[in-house]
Structure 1
Amino acid sequence: MKTLRLTFESFRFAWQALQSNLLRTILSLLGVTVGIFAIIAVFTVVDSLEASVRQSMNFVGDKVIYVAKWPWAFGGDYPWWKYFNRPSPTLREFQQLQRLLTPENNRGVALFAARGGNTLKAGSNSLEDIALQGVTYEFRQVSDVPVQEGRYFTPQEIDAARNVAVVGYDIAHNLFPNGSAVGKEFRTHGLKYTIIGVMEKEGKKMLDTPSNDTNCLVPLGSFTKIYALSNGGMGGAQGTIGIKGTDADPGLLNLESEVQGAMRNIRGLKPREEDDFALNRPEMLADAISSLFSVIGVAGAVIGSFAILVGGFGIANIMFVSVTERTNIIGIQKSLGAKNYFILAQFLFEAIFLCLIGGAAGLFLVWLITLVPQDAMKITMSMYRIVLGLGLSVLIGVIAGIIPSVKAAMMNPVEAIRSK
Structure 2
Amino acid sequence: MKFIRQILESFRFAWQALRSNLLRTTLSLLGVTIGIFAIIAVFTMVDSLERNVKESLNFLGDRVVYVQKWPFEFGSEYRWWKYFQWPEPTYNDYRALAERLENAEAICAMGGRGNVIVKNGNNSLPVRISGVTMDYNQISEVPIGEGRYFAPQEQESARNVVIIGSEVAETLFPNQYAVGKIMKINGLNFQVIAVQEKKGSGVLEIGGNPDRRCLIPYGTFAKLFQSIRPSVTIAVKGYPEDEGLQNLEGEIRGLMRARRSLKPTQDDNFAINRPEAIAKAIGGVFAVLTIAGWVIGSFSILVGGFGIANIMFVSVKERINIIGIQKSLGAKNYFILFQFLFESVMLSLVGGLVGVFLVYLLSFIPLGNLDVVLTAGNIALGLGTSSLIGVLAGILPAISAARLDPVIAIRSK
Residue 251 of structure 1, CA deviation: 3.5
Please name the residue that 2:149 is paired with: 152
1:270 aligns with 2:263: yes
Match of residue 358, structure 1, among 337, 351, 355: 351
Task: Provide closer, same or farther for how the CA distance between residues 7 and 340 of structure 1 changes in structure 2, counting only shifts above 3 A.
Answer: closer
Residue 267 of structure 1, CA deviation: 3.2
Separation (CA, whole Å) in 1 of partners of 2:124 and 2:25? 65
Query: Which structure 2 residues correspond to residues 115-154 of structure 1 after superposition, within 5 A?
Result: 115-128=113-126, 130-154=127-151
1:331 aligns with 2:329: no
SS of the equivalent of 2:78 reads coil
Residue 250 of structure 1, CA deviation: 4.4
SS of the equivalent of 2:158 reads coil
CA contact (8 A) 2:17 2:343 kept: no
Please name the residue that 2:67 is paired with: 67
SS of the equivalent of 2:223 reads coil
Match of residue 173, structure 1, among 145, 153, 170: 170
Residue 360 of structure 1, CA deviation: 1.0
Separation (CA, whole Å) in 2 of partners of 1:249 and 1:392? 42
SS of the equivalent of 1:238 reads coil
Residue 330 of structure 1, CA deviation: 2.1
Give the gaps of 5 or more residues in structure 2.
none
1:292 aligns with 2:285: yes
Which amino acid in 2 is paired with 1:325?
A: E
Query: Which structure 2 residues correspond to residues 229-240 of structure 1 after superposition, within 5 A?
Result: 231=229, 237-240=230-233
Match of residue 220, structure 1, among 194, 214, 218: 218
RMSD over aligned Cα, in angstroms? 2.1
SS of the equivalent of 1:224 reads helix
Which amino acid in 1 is paired with 2:210?
A: N
CA contact (8 A) 1:332 1:413 kept: yes
SS of the equivalent of 2:97 reads helix
Residue 29 of structure 1, CA deviation: 1.5
Separation (CA, whole Å) in 2 of partners of 1:240 and 1:2? 74
SS of the equivalent of 2:225 reads coil
CA contact (8 A) 1:48 1:380 kept: yes
Give identity over the alignment, percent: 55
Residue-by-residue CA offset, 1:327-363 (whole Å, 9 max, x unaligned): 2232233334433334323322221122111111111
SS of the equivalent of 1:205 reads coil
Which amino acid in 1 is paired with 2:177?
A: S
Which amino acid in 2 is paired with 1:55?
A: E
Separation (CA, whole Å) in 1 of partners of 2:150 and 2:329? 85
Residue-by-residue CA offset, 1:216-265 (whole Å, 9 max, x unaligned): 1111111122133665xxxxx42011012344444433332232223223
Which amino acid in 2 is paired with 1:166?
A: I
TM-score (norm 2): 0.93
Residue 127 of structure 1, CA deviation: 2.4
Residue 62 of structure 1, CA deviation: 3.2
Residue 364 of structure 1, CA deviation: 1.1
Q: Moved runs in structure 1, 4+ residues, more than 6 A?
A: none
Task: Provide closer, same or farther for how the CA distance between residues 226 and 264 of structure 1 changes in structure 2, counting only shifts above 3 A.
Answer: same
Task: Provide closer, same or farther for how the CA distance between residues 34 and 91 of structure 1 changes in structure 2, counting only shifts above 3 A.
Answer: same
Farther-moved stretch of structure 1 (111-120 vs 163-172): 111-120
CA contact (8 A) 1:331 1:412 kept: yes
| Count, aligned residues | 412
Separation (CA, whole Å) in 2 of partners of 1:43 and 1:259? 40
Please name the residue that 1:88 is paired with: 88
Residue-by-residue CA offset, 1:86-134 (whole Å, 9 max, x unaligned): 232233322332333334xx43111111122322222222223x22211
Give the gaps of 5 or more residues in structure 1.
232-236
Residue 200 of structure 1, CA deviation: 2.0
TM-score (norm 1): 0.91
